[in-house]
Amino acid sequence: MRRPLLVANWKMHKSVAEAEDFAAALLPLLPPAGAELAIAPPFTALAALGRALRGSPVLLAAQNANPAESGAFTGEVAPAMLAELGCRYVIAGHSERRGLYGESDDFVAAKVCALLAAGLRPIVCVGESLEVRRAGGGAAEVVCRQLQNSLAGVPAGLAAELAVAYEPIWAIGTGETATPQAAQQMHAALREKLRGLFGAAAEAIRIQYGGSVKPGNAAALLAQPDIDGALVGGASLNPESFAALAAESGGAS
């Protein structure tokens, strides 16, 4: 039985003060037991949010990292720097980074390996474009290939540390979600790919769904056998709405 994983991806939203206010408002609203919860704020709010969440069931996550340990990489942040701040999860290969900043599968794979080596848990994002979806039929193949290539070099012994997020690009920030049945089909295909890559460890890997998840549609998605949580953008920016999602995902531990 996989414990659901609900992660807030705040993208480029919230100042330090806003992140602190969010934590203060969220914690009393959280339901008592169930899903594992994490918040990925902008880098600038990590330290303050980490302090505000200390002693709570909500974990700290980051939105990105560079695969290198250190060096001349202006504007980048290394995995060990995120571990030092108390991050547990780090999003790797979000479609916005792939699309806007040209991150390739190879680069994402290097990042995933570096995160694992630093003791962090990568959330590896995959998902097809509208073009691929419209072409019909081949989306699962495209997304499974993207997953395999984004996991190149991951040692099987560390596979259970991974989470995967299936985020169809056409569903991100559009208000359009995959139906629970269509999402389940893709998640089952991804699980099969993970079995091929890692054997029995695949059963422990949480596969999250992302793309316009909000209170009201999360429960039906999470009821599917291979949907093990959600990666949430817009609906995670408001404490009431994130708490409602935590309740639909099975609460906090």
Asked if residue 123 lies in contact with residue 93, where contact means CB atoms within 8 angstroms, the answer is no
**Residue whose CB is nearest to ligand 13P in the complex, by number:** 233
Number of residues that bind ligand 13P (CB under 6 A): 14
Of 36, 128, 161, 167, catalytic? 167
Q: How far is the CB of 196 from ligand 13P (least distance, A)?
A: 26
Nearer to ligand 13P, 122 or 233 (CB): 233
* Cα 71 from Cα 209, distance rounded (Å): 34
Q: How far is the CB of 197 from ligand 13P (least distance, A)?
A: 23
**Among 99, 153, 157, 173, which residue interacts with ligand 13P (rule: CB under 6 A)?**
173
State yes or no: residue 9 binds ligand 13P (CB under 6 A).
yes
The reply to whether 13 belongs to the active site is no
The reply to whether 96 belongs to the active site is no
* Cα 54 from Cα 191, distance rounded (Å): 33
List binders of ligand 13P among 126-165 (CB under 6 A): none
Backbone angles phi, psi at 142, to 5 degrees: -60, -45
* Cα 121 from Cα 92, distance rounded (Å): 10
Q: List, in sequence order, every residue forming a beta bridge with 40; answer none if it has no partner.
A: 9
**Among 53, 114, 144, 172, which residue interacts with ligand 13P (rule: CB under 6 A)?**
172
Q: What is the 3-state secondary structure (H, E, C) of 178-190?
A: CCHHHHHHHHHHH
Query: If 0-12 CB within 10 Å is exposed, 13-18 middle and 19+ buried, where does residue 117 land?
Result: middle
**Among 36, 105, 167, 248, which residue interacts with ligand 13P (rule: CB under 6 A)?**
167
Q: How far is CA 224 from the centre of its chain?
A: 18
Backbone angles phi, psi at 87, to 5 degrees: -65, 145
State yes or no: residue 63 binds ligand 13P (CB under 6 A).
no
State yes or no: residue 213 binds ligand 13P (CB under 6 A).
yes
Neighbouring C-beta atoms of residue 141, cutoff 10 Å? 13
**Among 79, 210, 250, 251, which residue interacts with ligand 13P (rule: CB under 6 A)?**
210
Amino acid sitting at position 49: L
Per-residue interface string for the shown chain with ligand 13P, residues 76-95, x marking contact by CB under 6 A? ------------------x-
Q: List, in sequence order, every residue forming a beta bridge with 163; answer none if it has no partner.
A: 123, 206
Q: How far is CA 188 from the centre of its chain?
A: 18
Q: How far is the CB of 177 from ligand 13P (least distance, A)?
A: 8
State yes or no: residue 31 binds ligand 13P (CB under 6 A).
no
Per-residue interface string for the shown chain with ligand 13P, residues 215-244, x marking contact by CB under 6 A? ----------------xxxxx---------
Could you list the active site residues? 94, 167
Residues at the site binding ligand 13P, with contacts judged by CB under 6 A: 9, 94, 167, 172-173, 210-213, 231-235
